[in-house]
Structure 1
Amino acid sequence: MQFSESWLRSFVNPEKVSTDALSHRLTMAGLEVEEVGPVAPPFEKIVVARVLATERHPNADRLNVCQVDAGTGETLQIVCGAPNVKPGILVPCALVGAVLPPSEPGGKPFEIKVGKLRGVDSYGMLCSARELKLSEDHEGLLILPEDAPVGQNIRQYLDLDDQVFVIKLTPNKADCLSIHGVAREVAALTGAALQVPAMTPVAVTLDETLPVKVSAPDLCGRFSGRVIRGVNARAATPAWMVQRLERSGQRSISALVDISNYVMLELGRPSHVFDLDKIHGGLDVRWGRKGEQIKLLNGNTIEVDEQVGVIADDKEIESLAGIMGGDSTAVTLDTANIYLEAAFWWPQSIQGRARRYNFSTDAGHRFERGVDFATTVEHIERITALILDICGGQAGPVDDHVVNLPERKPVRMRVARAERVLGIELSAAEIADVFQRLQLAFTREQGDDGEVFVVTPPSYRFDIEIEEDLIEEVARIYGFERIPARPPVAESEMRPTDEARRSQHVVRHAVAARDYQEVINFAFVEDKWERDFAANDNPIRLLNPIASQLAVMRSTLIGGLLDKVRYNLNRKAGRVRLFEVGRVFHRDGSVADGGLTVAGYRQPMMVAGIAYGPAFEEQWGVATRPVDFFDVKGDVESLFHPRVARFEPVSHPALHPGRAARVLVDGKPVGVVGELHPRWLQEYELAQAPVLFELELQSLREVGLPAYSEISKFPAVVRDLAVVVKQSARAQDLLDAMRAALDQAGFGRFCQSLVLFDEFRPKANAAASSSIGVDEKSLAFRVTLQDTGSTLQDETVDSAVRCMVDALVAAFQARLRG
């Protein structure tokens, strides 16, 4: 929200409050002032001057020699190259010795001296708006109104010492998206009187209305309009209005458009002016229909559907409701008859509609936050008065359709509750004073906790719905600076910790310790990512996405991580290792509403990581090789320590069919690990396959309690066991069979370790001369046996090894190698 201080002070003028103090008060009241700056940079000795005569320069076709009256008592000769210079106009004139702002940022100020242009003396310079840094217009001189006093300082005449405020508003403060709204706040903060422009009904000289039907009460709650005939659309917008618009960041277009924009900034009321002669029949306010199209004022042709509100006539759509008018009924300089409209659009019917078409408008920005529904008629009178005053014409009666207005439910605020929240003592009189200054109607009654204020929110305050909203209003107007900063008073209590669980923070540190860097991605992702990496053809869609491509909720973290890998690779990063801890979203009808749950949706926390490029940073001690499945599998195993994770083959849409595994802990699947599918390597333009994992955070947090185990003082026995099995046999199945055999034979307590340390597969051309068949492989296991009570005897060790071999022979038709 941008506006000039002089415009604000025309509504409310706290004379003893300086610009800096006003800025500070607004910021402390929740209306953050981002910037305050002068309308124009410093300059001096520039005055209003009249061009008395011009003649062509004798030595240059594009220059004129002008005789100028600058109020100095003598006529000045000034050479000027502006195309619009002519006798009789009033323009800014920089006298000799004047200092103009630098032409470029960081440049030096420009001093005017007596000069000679193509042999003709020049005693000053006639200025454009760009040379004074008032705008970027450099097509000619800045022509001033005829009543400008010759010789007056231009800063004084144009009020160039005025200040421009830029305010950053939070979404709940829609009532301050106007000069009137900000002035209400200033009046409440300072106690100065608020002066609102007169909205006296204009004289009605026409007995004509336009037929209007509101077919969608859930779209439009109130629709007001009037016919005005005989306007002069070519009339010049008054200089004071152009000045206020420009200092609010709006450029002047035409008188009718300027008046509509002016009242929007002044009162917060977006309105629309239709060319009456281009409307076919009457207007129907309704929801759009699939297949309908409209060409908007910005030149875009869009297609609407049943989710978008429109204003249509008997032939076509004329306007996108509450957002932008259509090109077919736009006013032009030839417009003579108009239809003026002001309406209340339900915020939820406007929210997100402009964004789905990739643009935004000032009207949509206001309507989706809530605009006063009680003053449409008064604001039409204000706009009409300005139109008749500037453009002339005859006005018909206001046609007001009230169909569905919001109900303003009273909000209760307990004085005791306000004191507890704010941490200060508040008297009922102080609270009453705050509500009176804010023009909030209230009553007082006694409740169980003491005195209670019952406030009825006004029609322009859509942000007052619960008790905390009123407490916030009390704090703002009472003054945050008056609330002392006190340390909290609380008992210092040592609470027990659950040693069997670790926190999310500890898990994140554990992943980072494995050489991964954390990233944070949006929870909403591209629809394509869900199809590619989760085979999800029916993702959870957003009703109001922040961007068209981020339209669905993620069910996996893989897409975001892969996107960040590509981002880094595009910036010449050769080795990328990233992880994310975040929530994913699945449909689940068994989930009910709760404090942290939403009915029908399961939202588990996941931990995912991705590794791309070399396994290690380049160094002399380790040969460079790409990261592989077993590197990341080792990372996953370390994250679960001291719990033991198991791995079994899995089919996953994002992972390589033969290089992916499901992760199981205590027999329960908790995630996946594997290499990216070759299809996605080509699709996402990756030179080599990254390896990734995705695990449930809850499973990583459960580490269990530490358990004591006795350390044996007797020597351990190590035996190697090499067996030949079919290539389809899984090593984990062999390990499980051997451990089960040891337990069944009573040797399980002696087994300290059982690991696979070698695998051998013969080459196809060497299989004939080898004892291992072409469809066979050799697996070598190392078993460590140790007793805590005595030294193991050879017979015991041999029996343990024999029972393992017998189990492998029986289950897998294995044979000892060699």
Structure 2
Amino acid sequence: MQFSESWLRTFANPEKISTDALSHSLTMAGLEVEEVGPVAPPFSKIVVGHVLATERHPNADRLNVCQVDAGTGETLQIVCGAPNVKPGIKVPCALVGAVLPPAEAGGAPFEIKVGKLRGVESYGMLCSARELKLSDDAGGLLVLPDDAPVGQDIREYLDLDDQIFTIKLTPNKADCLSIHGVAREVSALTGATLTLPDMSPVAVSIDDRLPVKVSAPDLCGRFSGRVIRGVNAHAATPAWMVQRLERSGQRSISALVDISNYVMLELGRPSHVFDLDKIHGGLDVRWGRKGEQLKLLNGNTVEVDETVGVIADDKEIESLAGIMGGDSTAVTLDTTNIYLEAAFWWPAAIQGRARRYNFSTDAGHRFERGVDYATTVEHIERITALILQICGGQAGPVDDQIVNLPVRKPVSLRVARAERILGIELSAAEIADVFQRLNLPFTRTQGADGEVFEVTPPSYRFDIEIEEDLIEEVARIYGFERIPARPPIAENEMRPTNEGRRSQHVVRHAIAARDYQEVINFAFVEEKWERDFAANDNPIRLLNPIASQLAVMRSTLIGGLVDKVRYNLNRKAARVRLFEVGRVFHRDPKAADGGLTVAGYDQPMMAAGIAYGPAFEEQWGVPTRAVDFFDVKGDVEALFHPHVPRFEAVAHPALHPGRAARVIVGGKAVGVVGELHPRWLQEYELTQAPVVFELDMQALRDVGLPTYTEISRFPAAVRDLAVVVRQTIRVQDMIDSMREALDKADLGRYCQSLVLFDEFRPKAASAAIGADEKSLAFRLTLQDTGATLQDETVDQAVRAMVDALAAAFDARLRG
């Protein structure tokens, strides 16, 4: 929201409050003033000049020698090259000694001196708006109105010492999207009198009406309009209106459009002006129909459906309700008869519609937050008066159709509750004063907790719905600065710590310690990622996505990590190791509503990582090689310590078949690890396969309590066992079989470790190993805490393992 201070002070003028103090007051009241800046940079000795005569420069085709009256008592000769200079116009004239703003940012100010241009002396300079830094228009001199007083300082005449306020409004403060709304706040904060423009009915001189039907009460609650005939669309917009529009960030277009925009900024009421002669029959306010199209004022052609409100005539759609008008009925300089419309559109019927078509409008921005439904007629009278004053014409009666207006229920505020929330003592009189200053009607009653205020929200306050909204109003007007900063007082309580469960913060540090860098991605992702990485053809869709491509909720973290790897590769990063901790979202009919849960949706916390490029940073001590499955598998094993996870082959839509595993801890699947599927390497422009993991955060946090194990004082027995099996046999199955055999032989308690330390696959078949076979070497460590193990016990353990391998896998001892 941008506006000039001088315009604001015509509504509410706290005379003893400076610009800085006013800015601070608004900010502390919740209307954050982002920026306050002057209308024009500093300059001096520039006055209103009157061009008396011009003649062609004797030595230059594009220069003119002008005779100028600048109010100095003598005529000044000034050489000017502007194409629009001519006798009789009034323009800014920089006198000798004037200091103009720098031509470029960071440059030095420019001083006007007596000089010669192609042999002709010049005693000043005629200025354009760009040279005064009032706009970027460099097409010619800034022509002033004919009644501009010659010799008056241009800063005074154009009010260039005015300040421009830029306010960042929160979505709930739709009532402040106008000068009137901000002035209401200024009046409440400072006590300044609120002055409104005249909105009394204009004289009705014709009886013309346009038939209007409101077919959708859930779209439009009130529709007001009137016919105005005989307007002069060529009329010039007054300079004061153009100035206020420009200082509010609006470009002057034509008188009729400017008046509509002006009243929108002034009173917060978006309206629309139709060319009456282009309307076929009457108007129907209704929901759109599938397949209907409309060419908008911005040139876009959009297709509507049953969820988009429209204003249609007997032949076609003429406007997107509450958003933008259509091109076919737009007013032009040839327009002579108009239909002026002002309506109340239900916010829920406007919200998100403009975003659907990838644009936004001032009207949609206001209507989707809520616009005063009680003042449509008064605002039409204000617009009509300006049109008749500037463009002339004859006005017909106002047609006001009240169909379906909001019912404003009183909201209760308990004084005791307000004191508890704000942490200060408040009297009922202070609260009553706040409501009176804000013009909030209220009654006072006695309740069980003390005095209670019943406040009926005004028609322009859509943000007051619950008790906390009223408490916020009290805090804003009472003054946040008056609320002391006191530390909270509460009883301390020693709570037991779950030593078997580490925090999410510790898990994140553990992953970072494995040389991964944390990233944070959006929880809503591209629908393509869900299909590619989770085989999810029915993702959870967002009703109102912030961007068209981020339209679904993620069910896996892998897509975001792959995207960030690609982002880094595009910026010449050779080695990327990233991780993310975040929620994923699945449909679950068993899930119920709770403090952190939503019915029908499971939202588990997951930890995922991705490694791409060399396994280690380049160094002299380790040869460079690409990261592989076993590097990341080792990271996963370290993260689950002291638990020892199992790994089983798995088919996963995102991972390479045969190079992907399911992670199992305590008999429960808790995640996956593996190389990215080859088909996604080309799809996502990756030159080598990254290795990813995705693990359940709850499993990572449950480490359990440490348990004491006696350390043996007796030597360990170590045996190496080399067996030949088919190449399709999995090592994990063999280890499971050997451990099971030891347990059956009651020797499992002696097994300290059983690990694979070698694998051999021959290039050609031999007498010892076939072409489809492999040799696996296991190292078995046995140790007892009570005595030295006898050779017979060790041999028994080895025999039990060999027999189990032979029975289950047809294995044989090598050699």
Report the Cα offset of residue 290 of structure 1: 2.0
| Partner amino acid, structure 2, of 1:790 | A
Question: What's the counterpart of residue 149 of structure 1?
Answer: 149
Offset from partner CA, 1:211-240 (integer Å, 9 cap, x none): 212222222222111111111111000010
Question: What's the counterpart of residue 793 of structure 2?
Answer: 796
Question: What's the counterpart of residue 189 of structure 1?
Answer: 189
Report the Cα offset of residue 247 of structure 1: 0.5
Map 1:467-486 to 2 at 5 A.
467-486=467-486
Map 1:222-301 to 2 at 5 A.
222-301=222-301
Query: Within 1, Cα distance between the matches of 2:769 and 2:215?
Result: 83
Query: Within 1, Cα distance between the matches of 2:523 and 2:249?
Result: 35
Offset from partner CA, 1:169-221 (integer Å, 9 cap, x none): 11111111110110010111001111111110111112122121222222222
Give the stretch that moved more between structures: 65-74 or 51-60.
51-60
Secondary structure of the 1:686 match is coil
Map 1:289-368 to 2 at 5 A.
289-368=289-368
Question: What's the counterpart of residue 25 of structure 1?
Answer: 25
Question: What's the counterpart of residue 712 of structure 2?
Answer: 712
Question: What's the counterpart of residue 452 of structure 1?
Answer: 452
Report the Cα offset of residue 498 of structure 1: 0.6
Question: What's the counterpart of residue 655 of structure 2?
Answer: 655
Query: Within 2, Cα distance between the matches of 1:220 and 1:770?
Result: 90
Report the Cα offset of residue 138 of structure 1: 1.1
- Which of 757, 776, 779 is equivalent to 2:776? 779
Offset from partner CA, 1:47-95 (integer Å, 9 cap, x none): 0111111111112221111111110001111111111111111111000
Question: What's the counterpart of residue 488 of structure 2?
Answer: 488
Query: Within 2, Cα distance between the matches of 1:804 and 1:402?
Result: 90
Give the stretch that moved more between structures: 546-555 or 624-633.
546-555
Give the stretch that moved more between structures: 547-556 or 590-599.
590-599
Report the Cα offset of residue 410 of structure 1: 1.3
Question: What's the counterpart of residue 559 of structure 1?
Answer: 559
Question: What's the counterpart of residue 811 of structure 2?
Answer: 814
Question: What's the counterpart of residue 397 of structure 2?
Answer: 397
| Partner amino acid, structure 1, of 2:806 | V
Report the Cα offset of residue 326 of structure 1: 1.0
Report the Cα offset of residue 551 of structure 1: 1.1
Query: Within 1, Cα distance between the matches of 2:694 and 2:237?
Result: 63
Secondary structure of the 1:237 match is coil
| Partner amino acid, structure 2, of 1:519 | V
Question: What's the counterpart of residue 601 of structure 1?
Answer: 601
Secondary structure of the 2:718 match is strand
RMSD in angstroms over aligned alpha carbons? 1.0
Offset from partner CA, 1:89-121 (integer Å, 9 cap, x none): 111100011010011111111111111111111
Question: What's the counterpart of residue 4 of structure 2?
Answer: 4
Give the stretch that moved more between structures: 271-280 or 349-358.
349-358
Query: Within 2, Cα distance between the matches of 1:516 and 1:309?
Result: 51
| Partner amino acid, structure 1, of 2:159 | D
8 Å contact from structure 1 (residues 223, 341) kept in 2: yes
Query: Within 2, Cα distance between the matches of 1:140 and 1:346?
Result: 46
Report the Cα offset of residue 770 of structure 1: 4.2
Offset from partner CA, 1:309-333 (integer Å, 9 cap, x none): 2111121111111111111111111
Question: What's the counterpart of residue 127 of structure 1?
Answer: 127
| Partner amino acid, structure 2, of 1:748 | G
Map 1:351-750 to 2 at 5 A.
351-750=351-750
Query: Within 1, Cα distance between the matches of 2:352 and 2:566?
Result: 30
Query: Within 2, Cα distance between the matches of 1:304 and 1:770?
Result: 78
Map 1:750-769 to 2 at 5 A.
750-763=750-763, 766-767=764-765, 769=766
| Partner amino acid, structure 2, of 1:143 | V
Report the Cα offset of residue 817 of structure 1: 1.1
Map 1:24-103 to 2 at 5 A.
24-103=24-103
| Partner amino acid, structure 1, of 2:94 | A
| Partner amino acid, structure 1, of 2:72 | T
Structure 1 runs not aligned, ≥5 long: none
Query: Within 2, Cα distance between the matches of 1:349 and 1:698?
Result: 42
Report the Cα offset of residue 815 of structure 1: 0.9
Secondary structure of the 1:510 match is helix
| Partner amino acid, structure 2, of 1:556 | T
| Partner amino acid, structure 2, of 1:702 | D
| Partner amino acid, structure 2, of 1:47 | V
| Partner amino acid, structure 1, of 2:230 | G
Secondary structure of the 1:33 match is strand
Secondary structure of the 1:710 match is coil
Query: Within 2, Cα distance between the matches of 1:794 and 1:407?
Result: 92
Q: Which aligned segments of 4 or more residues in structure 1 are displaced greater than 3 angstroms?
A: none
Secondary structure of the 2:695 match is strand
| Partner amino acid, structure 2, of 1:777 | K
8 Å contact from structure 1 (residues 212, 284) kept in 2: yes
| Partner amino acid, structure 2, of 1:198 | D
Report the Cα offset of residue 714 of structure 1: 0.8
Report the Cα offset of residue 306 of structure 1: 2.0
Report the Cα offset of residue 506 of structure 1: 0.9
Q: Aligned pair count?
A: 815
| Partner amino acid, structure 2, of 1:645 | P
Q: Quick one: structure 1 residues 770 and 265, their matched pair in 2 at CA, closer, same or farther if it must change by over 3 Å?
A: farther
Secondary structure of the 1:354 match is helix
Q: Is 1:178 equivalent to 2:175 in the alignment?
A: no
8 Å contact from structure 1 (residues 762, 770) kept in 2: no
Report the Cα offset of residue 393 of structure 1: 0.8
Query: Within 1, Cα distance between the matches of 2:636 and 2:287?
Result: 53
Query: Within 1, Cα distance between the matches of 2:540 and 2:514?
Result: 33
Secondary structure of the 2:353 match is coil
Offset from partner CA, 1:279-329 (integer Å, 9 cap, x none): 111112222222221111111112222222211112111111111111111
Report the Cα offset of residue 243 of structure 1: 0.4
Query: Within 2, Cα distance between the matches of 1:402 and 1:449?
Result: 40
Query: Within 2, Cα distance between the matches of 1:774 and 1:372?
Result: 85
Report the Cα offset of residue 446 of structure 1: 1.2
Query: Within 1, Cα distance between the matches of 2:805 and 2:214?
Result: 81
Query: Within 2, Cα distance between the matches of 1:495 and 1:408?
Result: 47
Query: Within 2, Cα distance between the matches of 1:253 and 1:489?
Result: 60
Report the Cα offset of residue 757 of structure 1: 1.5
Query: Within 2, Cα distance between the matches of 1:781 and 1:277?
Result: 94
| Partner amino acid, structure 1, of 2:506 | V
Secondary structure of the 1:692 match is strand
Structure 2 runs not aligned, ≥5 long: none
Query: Within 2, Cα distance between the matches of 1:406 and 1:759?
Result: 78
Query: Within 2, Cα distance between the matches of 1:145 and 1:730?
Result: 92
Report the Cα offset of residue 492 of structure 1: 2.4
| Partner amino acid, structure 1, of 2:88 | G
Query: Within 2, Cα distance between the matches of 1:210 and 1:646?
Result: 78
Query: Within 2, Cα distance between the matches of 1:787 and 1:402?
Result: 93
